[in-house]
Structure 1
Amino acid sequence: MLRYVTTNPGKVREATDYLGSDVAQLDFDYTEIQSPELGPIAARGAREAYRHAGEPVLVDDAGLFVDSLEGFPGPYSSYVEETVGIERVYELAATEEDRRAAFRCTLAYCDGEGFDASPDPVDRDDRTVAAATGPDGDEGDVGLPVKLFEGIVRGRIVEPRGEGGFGYDPIFEHNGKTMAEMSTDEKNGISHRGRALAKFAEWYPERSTAE
């Protein structure tokens, strides 16, 4: 059984569309480290979740990256949405000539075993391994490689439009529509999480068969 670590049942439903019924929700509050990139955040969460569950786990981290704002809000998207609001992010982007942006999602998979070389990156947490040689090293992370799968949907920042979706959906336009103007099926068809899940779903059956 694959445990999808999330408090959002919608993510699990989306995952089952790609992976079938062999997915179950795991509500586990892992440590969200500070990082300018999604990969290390998701990888750390996957390691913690695997140690907690003792079963294969999948953790995701996602964010909105605005090109002209040097990737802001990026991994801090949830915090910025709650504290600043999406209208303010639009106002910041509106002052720039370049309004290109991307929704990015990184899935992190950990089952306690190593991975063969492949086009998809593997986070072996070398910095933690090095730190473990010192008195403050977290030895629990050593030897837990994590495989990462990234999904990206590109678009641009626009004035808020649409009544659907959530988060930054009203200010993110893709192919002439904001995410908030799309139906659920339309949005799922191009979503960053869906694209990451599609990559994972192509790889995972071979992994699960070998176990």
Structure 2
Amino acid sequence: MRVVVATHNAHKVEELGRILSPLLPGIELVKYDGPDADETGDTFAANALIKAREAAQHTGLPALADDSGIAVDALEGAPGIRSARYAGTREDADNNALLLENLKGVEDRAAQFMCAAAFVDGEFEAVELGVWPGCVLTEARGAGGFGYDPLFQPDGETRASAELSAAEKDALSHRRRAFEQLAQVIRSRSL
């Protein structure tokens, strides 16, 4: 099955390939080359569907998309759906610096990585949500991953997400949790 992945983020395409290949044997992920969708939704799920619909319409292929980010309890869920644009520059270093600045002096740093995974194939649409609980560290650690990974410490871990191997992160992450559920929906649909 050929499926377009509605992102221009090469890291996400690689990560999804690693996650989905054992869950959906035979799936061929195709890189999206179309225009960015306007993410006008007010939830991760709404934005994931907007992106998947746009990619499916543009390519004529079934489409996968996700919308993900970090939600910090002390910041009333921010950066949330604006995680990638939090500092206004779309640069990971700027977003991380602003998050640390906004959490200066805050003791309860509970946070969750959240991911809504969407699949669109013609009239059929499905969305699943994955949540990875943890906390925001006081300084960046590790060189792996991307986005907020250097600042996020998953519950039950002593390492930042950026200190986990790709295989460890793939087994635990919010994206894994969302796409694992979505893969079950896709498998049941294609049986």
TM range, normalised to the smaller chain? Answer: 0.7 to 0.9
Runs of 4+ with >4 A deviation: none
In the aligned structure 1, how far is the partner of 2:110 from the partner of 2:42? Answer: 19
Maintained 8 Å contact 1:102/1:153? yes
Give the share of equivalent positions with the same residue, in percent: 33
Maintained 8 Å contact 1:12/1:25? no
Moved more, 58-67 or 8-17: 8-17
Which of 142, 167, 179 matches 1:162? Answer: 142
Q: 1:205 to 1:29 in 2, by over 3 A?
A: same
Q: Which residue of 2 aligns with 1:124?
A: none
**Secondary structure at the counterpart of residue 48 of structure 1:** helix
Moved more, 167-176 or 83-92: 83-92
The answer to whether residue 156 in structure 2 is matched with residue 178 in structure 1 is: no
The answer to whether residue 132 in structure 2 is matched with residue 153 in structure 1 is: yes
Q: Which residue of 2 aligns with 1:6?
A: 7
Per-residue CA distance 1:28-50 (angstroms, 9 max, x = gap): 32313233311111111122222
Q: Which residue of 2 aligns with 1:69?
A: 75
In the aligned structure 1, how far is the partner of 2:158 from the partner of 2:79? Answer: 23
Maintained 8 Å contact 1:66/1:93? no
In the aligned structure 2, how far is the partner of 1:171 from the partner of 1:24? Answer: 29
Q: 1:173 to 1:148 in 2, by over 3 A?
A: same
Give, as a single letter, the amino acid of the residue that structure 2 aligns with 1:155. G
**Secondary structure at the counterpart of residue 147 of structure 2:** coil
Which of 86, 99, 103 matches 2:96? Answer: 86
TM-score normalized with structure 2 length: 0.84
Which of 24, 28, 37 matches 2:29? Answer: 24
In the aligned structure 2, how far is the partner of 1:111 from the partner of 1:163? Answer: 37
Question: Deviation of residue 94 (structure 1)?
Answer: 3.6
In the aligned structure 2, how far is the partner of 1:158 from the partner of 1:20? Answer: 37
Which of 37, 40, 52 matches 1:34? Answer: 40
Question: Deviation of residue 200 (structure 1)?
Answer: 1.2
Question: Deviation of residue 86 (structure 1)?
Answer: 0.3
In the aligned structure 1, how far is the partner of 2:120 from the partner of 2:137? Answer: 37
Q: Gaps (5+ residues) in structure 2?
A: none
Alignment RMSD:
1.8
Greater Cα radius of gyration, structure 1 or 2: 1
Q: Which residue of 2 aligns with 1:206?
A: 188
Q: Which residue of 2 aligns with 1:120?
A: none
Per-residue CA distance 1:24-71 (angstroms, 9 max, x = gap): 223132313233311111111122222222222111111111111011
